Structures are given as structure tokens and as C-alpha cells.
Chains A and B, each alone.
Chain A
Amino acid sequence: AQTVTQSQPEMSVQEAETVTLSCTYDTSESDYYLFWYKQPPSRQMILVIRQEAYKQQNATENRFSVNFQKAAKSFSLKISDSQLGDAAMYFCAYRRGGTSYGKLTFGQGTILTVHP
């Protein structure tokens, strides 16, 4: 079974600074996807960034980037120029590849606080 581990229950960052959230996973599959989701106080799940395992290049979405280390099974999220609106719970998630699968396995989550 796949597992996703987020070892940081809480993190904090000053506005405009950079913060990195950690995530490790365990799988025997070769075809999979990794995601970071944001869950603000509204509790709406928002996709932040996604990474296909077969791609060596790290995904980037504006201020958000990942450090995908496939051999180490590590998938960290870096948030640059942090903003107050980035405050939320962040979940790392794993999904098997293939069109017949779509269920996500989530990590425990990291609560991010942004200080003005």
C-alpha cells in the first residue's frame, strides 16, 4: 500500500519570505502522480501543483515549486514570497497512474501560518 508522510504538523513563515514543506512517500509503482493541495479555512480543496513521476523536471506554478527526488521518494513544496493568503493546511497526495485509477492518498497535512 502507498503511504504519504508529512513530518511537519505546523510551519510558520514571515510574509515575503520562503518556506519549504516536506513530504515523503512510499510506493512500488513506477507510474504515479504527486500533488500538493491547499485547504484554507473555507475547507475547499485547492490544487496547488502536480508532478508526474516520469518527468524529471520539477513542476513550478508561479510562487510555488517542488523539489521532486524520485529515488529518495521525496516531494517538498517551496513557497516563495509568502503571502497572507497562503495560510492554510497543505496536503501532499499520491495517486497511482493509469486511467482507471484516481483515488488519492493524502499525507497528514501541515498547517502553515503566515506572519505579517
Chain B
Amino acid sequence: GAVVSQHPSWVICKSGTSVKIECRSLDFQATTMFWYRQFPKQSLMLMATSNEGSKATYEQGVEKDKFLINHASLTLSTLTVTSAHPEDSSFYICSARGGGDEKLFFGSGTQLSVL
């Protein structure tokens, strides 16, 4: 089956630094990728939709200058949390859609802890 690789699986950083999370589709071309955020024991909240070669579409309330999304190729989307603060600590999950299929495939997630 299709595989989406997300890296890193966890990261700890100091407040004020930036962190980049990668989401790769390993065996299919992902025309669209989605970035979600999940707090402990809560639901997944969509942050933004990323289309290859174009600007990401952010959900209401998500700061586009803080959460920079780049989808430069059909197999890679990145989420950069800029000037991270403790309140940005969360579990971030990507999903990818592509291959002419209606199915979505999820990455394994990234736990971000900001000290």
C-alpha cells in the first residue's frame, strides 16, 4: 500500500527557534497534502491544505506566517513552525492524496515539544 513518511517523529526545541517537519509520499505522487494538529486525547484539526506548486490554503485561525508550508514537489511537503513557543507544542500529522485515488494516507506524525 501507499506510504507516507513523516520526519522527524519527535523534536524538542527551545522557544524562539524554528522547526521543520517533512512529509514525503514514498511511492505515489501527492498532488495535495494536508497538515493537521492534535492535542492530547483530542481530535485532529486541519491547519492547511498544500497543493504542489502553489500557495497553501490555511484554515481560519491558523497563522500563515507562523506555520509555513511548502509543497515544492509532488512527493514532499514541509511544515515549518517559526519562532516556536510552548503553546505550539503539539502532535502534527500530515496526510497525502494522490494517484487518482480517493484514499488518503497519513504520516506517522511528529510530536513537537517547545521548551
Contacts and interface: CB of A to CB of B under 8 A. Distances in A.
A109 B43 contact: yes
A109 B41 contact: yes
Interface string B4-48: 000000000000000000000000000010100010011111100
Interface residues of A, number: 19
A91 to B, nearest CB: 7
A108 interface: yes
A47 to B, nearest CB: 7
Q: Which range contains the number of B residues in contact with the other chain?
A: 20 to 34
B41 A44 contact: no
Given A43-B109, A109-B41, A102 B32 contact: yes
B44 A106 contact: yes
B43 A107 contact: yes
Contacts of B42: 108-109
Closest 9 CB pairs of A and B: A45-B106, A102-B97, A106-B43, A106-B44, A108-B43, A43-B109, A44-B108, A103-B46, A109-B43
13 contacts: A43-B38, A43-B108, A44-B106, A45-B93, A89-B41, A91-B43, A95-B104, A102-B32, A102-B34, A102-B104, A103-B34, A103-B46, A104-B104
